[in-house]
Structure 1
């Protein structure tokens, strides 16, 4: 076993503190990770970040770097010098890129050039104005080609180089079970997935002044929901579809139609006057008129976006997809907190997620995550409907075709727990994120072979293309004064063969 890997975390915002640092603390306890050093902008680097557990607190030093425009494809020299100093001083062996996604590209390219393995947060990249500017939307697809090209070069120079994408549903036991069930029926029937209905709601109630004043996971950069959390679905659905692909039925093209709401639409759904009536203290807090808000949010990104997608093989539709991604959904927000309180987590945000996967006449899978609270302090069983950990997978199969198939079975939280050598993997997003970090570091420590990595960068061309297609459709609609634009059609080939993790496929030495 190799020595524990010292880790550089680039970006230490709320997402990193909630998700990455607890996982890194667990990796330190397991002997997989050594020191952890942070990099962030000066305002976030004013003091060390505390993480870990009350029984074993830790402090992560955070080194400041100056901001730079997201249009840059390479790091400024001053930022590069800071990073190089930290890498040498702290003997860094791996990098976590968890910055605002519009600057993922230069940081990831620097790490690969330096020969440092990368755990890259989702989405891979995004560009300001992506939901209104077709060129910015197209750049999302082009960025993947740039990343993969750099990965090929890095693998030739450093055969142990790896880039893993932290799209955690690939480690989630329920999502993995769906993929296994799809593959099982495809093997038995030669039938691929024929349709997918996939929806995710954040339960976010963003008040009118917060459309302007809260920028974290905001809309002021010209993108929104599809970049905030949409990549999970852009990745999950093609990953499921691939499990059902059969010879001659591989997906090689997609057609995408997107419709979205923007802040101006949200302000029409619930006006400033509506908010003042519903929340008596809102009027005294809000400094903006409705016209102010319309002027200030012009050009903002999408709040909610619904996609219709045709997944095709040689112009024949193999599967239809309806993908609904919404911030504005059922919420438990009530009392009016200060605008500075943030909306990344808490403030009544409740996630609800539903997927329905049809596989011709043979199988349908219903995966449901229906929450009404985050904690379990209100007398609700956390695993029951409405509980913080609710999840159910309903499996329906045509038992008239095969007597060994069950007509219906329900897999609950307890059924979906996966055993492992050191405990259990729970069917929760937090457990899945921990698995992603652990797998990455375990591979670097020589405990997991490359062939078993769940989310290698080379397998992310399809989600990058789907995300680009969504933004291209939104941008073309915006350029067409809101009227339906011409359909967006993109090729959907994989970047490499199904042996996506092989050294040969990426051009590394045999």
Structure 2
């Protein structure tokens, strides 16, 4: 019998409520939107807090309070006093599954007392579901970091791998139930949905579909963030961990699962969209990485004595410790099917292990952007014989904050280029190749250009949240509301299921069934044939 998951919910009723319930926006333009931040980690420090401070200076937002875990109390308090002293600071115990009742009561009282409108959930993703359910119970608008959720040991436990899809379904059910009584938005911070370059690409895909009828037929996506971690760090590091049984797919990988989905979605029509998606995955885990670079290699690279002082473990000890650790690299084959026939293919390559600038043994304090990490990103999107779009973004520098002013040249911090190849004779266009730079795209979308493009893009979700609260945008205008994440969340779940089945000697093929009968967004479910 196939192992299946389903979504039993009142989707039709819930989805028709989008944009229909009244909201009081009469004074919104005069009142800054009131934010509560949960999680003051490296990502929040680099993105949410600076952008909220800028929006506060513009009179559009205010950070009321921040919440973090008790074990970080001293360092977070020192940071808060220097960075956002006017906001309250509260601490709760670390948890990952169910939220303790007294914590939920404390947070609800805080949100009510401060009259918060939005909560930003920027915690360890293992806790996303618990915080999301609390925020929904409190009737709050939500911004949640990607991924929607992950689980401990998703690389080794089928139940936990299926749990990623279950978490999404539980959150969506709770969200749709809330919409019966109160309209709110639940935004998932998949920030490439707000990137002008990707919006430009979606327009080009839709243009070809309108002119020729051809959808997207093939996508090749690669992302590598060049995170070279030393063997002891792989065991001990607690930020973007491997030791909790998940890795790259759960770290930044969700961005690219969602982006590939967006590429295909831009070219879908009712007659040419898939009813099933087939997923097959392969991982390189820390034990495979240990075979690529072993202790002998590190000793030659850094010196016998110096490496010996920094590494706690022998290769045999590392091998035993790494046995259940999460993925460093992932290769994912995705096949889109309709009525049993393959109609489109995607290859998604997600890598931590690649070109880096690290040349030191001991890690610095900043593990988010400050440990030699360098980003290389490439997308190639084909629409049959009519169009190929190549998106290329490659850095050569790891010290991004020191390299301004930055240009858009290859290797710079702001390198981002789109090449559009078109069958110009068939389309009655002037030329077969056009190249668009960051400045071209900025002009097209009237984007704000100072600083790093990738960091400015991350302000987009805050802008949308404010525009929603002010009544400028409706729910149907939201680029990343929760209801549109069913397919990428289920693909993420299927990736881990496929890996586990492959390791166990079973067929690695996992199917994501896609049902469009229930409103404007598809409903996904998982199935595996034994």
**Cα shift at 1:62:** 2.4
RMSD of aligned alpha carbons: 2.3
Give 2:6's aligned residue: none
**Cα shift at 1:57:** 6.2
Partner of 2:313: helix, strand, or coil? coil
Structure 2: which 5+ residue stretches go unaligned? Answer: 1-26, 523-530
Distance 1:365 1:359 in 2: 9
Q: Report if aligned partners of 2:414, 2:454 keep a CA contact under 8 Å in 1.
A: no
In the TM superposition, what are the counterparts of 1:25-36 in structure 2 within 5 Å?
25-36=53-64
In the TM superposition, what are the counterparts of 1:24-173 in structure 2 within 5 Å?
24-46=52-74, 47-48=76-77, 50=79, 58-68=85-95, 70-72=96-98, 75-159=99-183, 161-173=184-196
1:242-274 deviations in Å (ceiling 9; x for gaps)? 110123111221111100111101111000111
Q: Report if aligned partners of 2:363, 2:371 keep a CA contact under 8 Å in 1.
A: no
Q: Report if aligned partners of 1:50, 1:60 keep a CA contact under 8 Å in 2.
A: no
**Cα shift at 1:341:** 3.5
Give 2:32's aligned residue: 4
Partner of 1:475: helix, strand, or coil? helix
**Cα shift at 1:13:** 0.8
Distance 1:84 1:212 in 2: 36
1:331-366 deviations in Å (ceiling 9; x for gaps)? 111133x24645321221100000000110000000
User: Quick one: structure 1 residues 173 and 496, their matched pair in 2 at CA, closer, same or farther if it must change by over 3 Å?
Assistant: farther
Number of aligned positions between the proteins: 490
Deviates more, 1:400-409 or 1:110-119: 400-409
In the TM superposition, what are the counterparts of 1:448-459 in structure 2 within 5 Å?
448-459=473-484
Give 2:467's aligned residue: 442
Give 2:526's aligned residue: none
Give 1:371's aligned residue: 395
Give 2:199's aligned residue: 176
Using the size of structure 2 for normalisation, the TM-score is 0.88
Give 2:297's aligned residue: 274
Distance 2:120 2:517 in 1: 23
Is residue 2:433 matched to residue 1:404? no
**Cα shift at 1:143:** 1.6
Distance 2:452 2:388 in 1: 20
User: Quick one: structure 1 residues 412 and 496, their matched pair in 2 at CA, closer, same or farther if it must change by over 3 Å?
Assistant: farther
Give 1:488's aligned residue: 510
Give 1:388's aligned residue: 413
User: Quick one: structure 1 residues 114 and 379, their matched pair in 2 at CA, closer, same or farther if it must change by over 3 Å?
Assistant: closer
**Cα shift at 1:499:** 6.9
Q: 1:474 pairs with 481, 499, 504, which one? A: 499
In the TM superposition, what are the counterparts of 1:309-320 in structure 2 within 5 Å?
309-320=334-345
Using the size of structure 1 for normalisation, the TM-score is 0.91
Q: 2:380 pairs with 356, 370, 381, which one? A: 356
**Cα shift at 1:85:** 2.5
Partner of 2:409: helix, strand, or coil? coil
Distance 1:71 1:449 in 2: 32
Q: Report if aligned partners of 1:32, 1:442 keep a CA contact under 8 Å in 2.
A: no
User: Quick one: structure 1 residues 8 and 378, their matched pair in 2 at CA, closer, same or farther if it must change by over 3 Å?
Assistant: closer
Give 2:270's aligned residue: 247
Is residue 2:241 matched to residue 1:212? no
Structure 1: which 5+ residue stretches go unaligned? Answer: 501-510
Is residue 2:520 matched to residue 1:498? yes
